[in-house]
Structure 1
């Protein structure tokens, strides 16, 4: 029994090491929010993070005179839990919206809705994770599953948290998609498995995402 237990522990640790090798969202984790994932390519964001991204070749972003940030969605619609209550989910999307507006306002005037020469940013939160229990889209993605498995096997109490996003950028003049991005990032660590996630646990990563999107736009303007 001890040999089997040790073998299981080593297996979990091995998975942990291999699971942390990539920070990309794997294709099996795509939510379906984007209509076409086949164009996505590995890229590096302005902050140096690994992302999956597509930008329309030759797109002229100087045509945009304003930007409209659509309210971010939770996709697919999650079922709140004690670990991930509704107020946390709502707090994450509300903060994401504000972070995007703050970041893009440095580049373009904010619009109240789509219109001519307006860039539409359509963001979604597609996964939130931190759990040692069964797989659920809004509780566990592989990076958190691995961390949870190591914790269960070795007695470590800390839990990692993780967040994923997918976003579409649309030229509202003709409703054409001009860019897409898929990425994930780490939130704040939790002390133990009974600690519920809170919106503040994800503010730092949401700020980075918003900043990267706005900086990517700025880089395209200067090309």
Structure 2
């Protein structure tokens, strides 16, 4: 009787070991070791760095904002009537130029401010890296936004202001608003375009980082380092 029980236990153990080995073999390479919160946080930072390197840099080229429907800066509501009013009196080309220079200022500013974003990612601390990893497709980007937006706005706004002068946006919009305000029977308008473009440029940056995060989450082929492969295999 004991021999029979012993034989059954041996068979059971062999079967269990075989099944366990199958599970291990099915895991992505390099994920068999336990990844701690620090490893996961490092992987998330790396994903955000890639978003800056691959996607945000696209915004710095000419038309990086202007011809990208995801981030193109359009006129704020209070200036839509300026655009409409100028077009009605045959100044459509001037209105087009006004829209373009807003996007040019953002493109120029992002070029100058990219190191700010790189440093922000380095300094970020993920309180619950595993929760972020297993969250929505843009969870890490949302976390970055919540932790850095106010600080980055303060650093980014003077860069935008300088870019306005550099690309001539300030003069163009002073001219546009003056021309509009001189149109009979219109109400005078004024707006803080520096504040508006700063916020829109920041939104554009976070949008493009989210594009790369989603790519890394959804496509194993986009995980270009061993760390990314190990970390994001956990959420597959």
Alignment TM class, shorter chain as reference: under 0.3
> Structure 1-normalised TM-score?
0.26
Answer 1 or 2: which has greater strand percent: 1
Answer 1 or 2: which has greater helix percent: 2
**Higher CA-based Rg:** 2
> Structure 2-normalised TM-score?
0.25
Flag the structure with more relative contact order, 1 or 2, with Cα contacts below 8 A and sequence separation at least 6. Answer: 2
